[in-house]
Structure 1
Amino acid sequence: MRLLLLSNLYPPDVLGGYELLARDVTDHLRARGHDVHVLTSGPARSDDPSYVHRSLELASPFDQPASLDRLRHARMARQHRDASRSVAKLGFDGAVVMSLRRLGFHAVRPLQEAGLRPVYCFNDDWLLSLRPYEAASPAVRLAWRMLERGPLASRTWSDIRIDHAVYVSRSIRDALVNAGAPVPPGVVCFQGVDRKLFWKRPATPTASPLKLLYAGRIHPTKGCDIAIRALGRLARAGFAATLTLAGTGSAEELDRLRGVARDEQVEALVTFAGFVERTKLGDVYRAHDVFLFPSIWEEPAGLTYLEAMACGVPVVALARGGAKELLVDRDNCRVVDGDETMASAIRELAGDTALVERIVDGGVRTVERRASLDRYVETIENAVIQARKAA
């Protein structure tokens, strides 16, 4: 099939896992014999493959407030429609929509008008950023309703048909349904781990000091301060451990975390490793003894703890959001609720080889059965086939 994948960002423009997943889905669909083209934002790059079309524009960059995005969408509407119609001339059999946050539906409408029924992949709540405007004042609400029926019509989900969807967890599906989004039951399938990059290491004895790892975006919602405070508790108890934080974040958040490390008197034990290339991330997991997943928000699913599991690294996690659907205490991880229980779980793993082996085996089994990339891509492929039959 000839397929179009629509995404607000595409590597090397990356905020987190969503954009990397867009590339993974593209690469794996192409490997399965499909002719996949990508329509996304950003200036054209000399190293882009010919099937990547950077013809779209974000309403505003992600490092700027989105407060005026509703008005900016009106300016972008024609450009996005023209870009979509131009690419659509290639003649697509189906379309896959990743995130449209800060893009709007301008590029989707021409595809819908051409008879395509896109498959929407919901890995977070981006759809809610495109809901019709809600205001407390009846007069303001009426004014926006008139605008969204006119020049801002393409900015919201009005008149958009979402008939086919793949959700990364029941948690995100329920969140969208409960918020009134026009979504179908769809299919739930956890985003997958690429086993070619993230393979299980041989069993290795734990070292001293114990090497702890967090990998992912450095953001207040990710709970990195919990990991640092857990390290502080271990240090005060005389337990030797170090912590590596692999990922990028704002200067303000990095400064805040360095302050937490100073307060805990573990500055010398914490390494801020910065950005790690995806192709090297598996080696980083395998070089550590325990992976920490301290996310404090209702994350739709999360990916890094699954990558760590695939690499044979025991995981200590706060189980919230979609992660609750996968994480089982003492079966594929240790589930904790804060820095005190995290420190206790780390010490337990260091002294219980049988528990580590059980958790590692359970983690690998979880990835193989419920979170492989091949399974995720196959689910999308089947949804596209069903959408094509229903069109």
Structure 2
Amino acid sequence: MKILFLSYKFYPDVGGIETMSDVVCNALHARGYEIKVVTTSAANAATQNRDYPVIRNPSKMQLLKLHFWADLVFENNPSLNLSWPNLLSGKPLVVALHTWIARVDGQKGIQDKLKQFWLKKAESVIACSKAIALACHPGATVIPNPYNDDLFKVKPEIRRDKKFVFLGRLVSDKGAIIALKAFHGFITKSGDTNATLTIIGQGPELESLQREAQNLQIDGKVFFEGTKKGEALVDTLNQHQYMLIPSVWEEPFGLVALEGMACGCIPVASNSGGLSEAVGKGGILFEKGNVDDLVAKLLNLENDQQLKQTLLQNGVEHLNLHKQAYVMDKYVHAINQALNK
């Protein structure tokens, strides 16, 4: 079967949709599907070759030909500037929702309304969480995101001698400033002078976060590692006990929770959006934006060995529901259903 996979963002860009596109494309290709990816993400010198073609910023004519080439179109998050030729080709359409269809303030603009209308055309709509389905398309099939279980895993040979890690873009939505303040509160109340916080990621908030660490006099305990990928990221996660996910934005799902969990970290996350579904029973939730609550949850967790062991065991069971093979079976079922409609 020939599948045209539309992903407005793709490798080498970094983010949740980019990661999901990579995982799904690799899994479909491994199952024998003929894949062609279309994206607006530009290549760079570090871009790796794929086992399938990646067409970047095609012309309108190229895009039209690709749609007619396909047996099925898989749209990984609505992108009307890539999917419009489907109006002419009429090929079966599967749309996966990985974020909210709304403006930042929650209002729906014309483009959002067009996207919701577009979903009615699809033979199958997949939502990454119950929260997304409820807000965007109540009739969607909920298939939680998979993580890359070939890459993210516990490495027993690595010493887990660091305390906290934050992984994400350094933008206000991700709440890295909350992680800093909570870390300061934790070491102040616990007296743990050996505790450290590692911040993995890049973004416009970097300099202000570095200044805040200095203002709190914890800059000697906070390490800004920049962007990490692949084995380097896995190795770093394996050095830490807890992953802080203090998003102030309503996360559609929260793939980093699974990645951290798979590397032996206990996720401590905001109680909003789809994060509770990503964390499951393998982590702890705190009130979104509440630094004091986060500090209290961290102190309680640090002092309760039985709770830590229970969460780690729960995490192993939770991850089984998000392994690529298990999730891709559900994706393939949705694809086959779309073809048979």
Per-residue CA deviations over 1:316-366 (Å, capped at 9, x if unaligned) read 2222101123445xx421222232232233333333322211111111211
Aligned to 1:384: 335
Aligned to 1:13: 13
Residues 95, 384 of structure 1: 8 Å contact kept: no
Distance 1:344 1:42, change over 3 A: closer
Per-residue CA deviations over 1:217-246 (Å, capped at 9, x if unaligned) read 111111111111111112323222110010
Structure 2 segments unaligned to the other structure (5+ residues): none
1:87 to 39, 45, 66: 66
CA distance in 2, matches of 1:246, 1:27: 25
| 1:21-32 paired onto structure 2 within 5 Å | 21-32=20-31
Corresponding letter in the other structure for 1:187: T
CA distance in 1, matches of 2:17, 2:180: 26
Structure 1 segments unaligned to the other structure (5+ residues): 57-78, 135-147, 149-154, 178-183
User: Which structure: larger Rg?
Assistant: 1
Per-residue CA deviations over 1:261-285 (Å, capped at 9, x if unaligned) read 1232211111111000134222211
CA distance in 1, matches of 2:28, 2:283: 31
Corresponding letter in the other structure for 1:88: H
Distance 1:173 1:157, change over 3 A: closer
1:245 to 191, 199, 203: 199
Aligned to 1:122: 97
1:44 deviation in Å?
A: 6.1
Distance 1:85 1:340, change over 3 A: same
Corresponding letter in the other structure for 2:100: D
Distance 1:111 1:133, change over 3 A: closer
1:334 to 280, 284, 296: 284
CA distance in 2, matches of 1:26, 1:356: 35
Aligned to 2:55: 53
How many residues are aligned here? 330
Aligned to 1:287: 239
Per-residue CA deviations over 1:74-93 (Å, capped at 9, x if unaligned) read xxxxx43x22222235x322
Taking only aligned residues, the RMSD between alpha carbons, in angstroms, comes to 2.7
CA distance in 2, matches of 1:9, 1:121: 14
Residues 291, 308 of structure 1: 8 Å contact kept: yes
Helix, strand or coil for the counterpart of 2:80?
A: coil
Q: Name the TM-score, length of structure 2 as normaliser.
A: 0.87
2:132 to 164, 172, 178: 172
1:31 deviation in Å?
A: 0.4
| 1:107-186 paired onto structure 2 within 5 Å | 107-126=82-101, 132=110, 161-177=121-137, 185-186=139-140
Per-residue CA deviations over 1:19-43 (Å, capped at 9, x if unaligned) read 1211111111000111111011245
CA distance in 2, matches of 1:204, 1:126: 41
Determine what percentage of the aligned residue pairs are the same residue.
Answer: 26
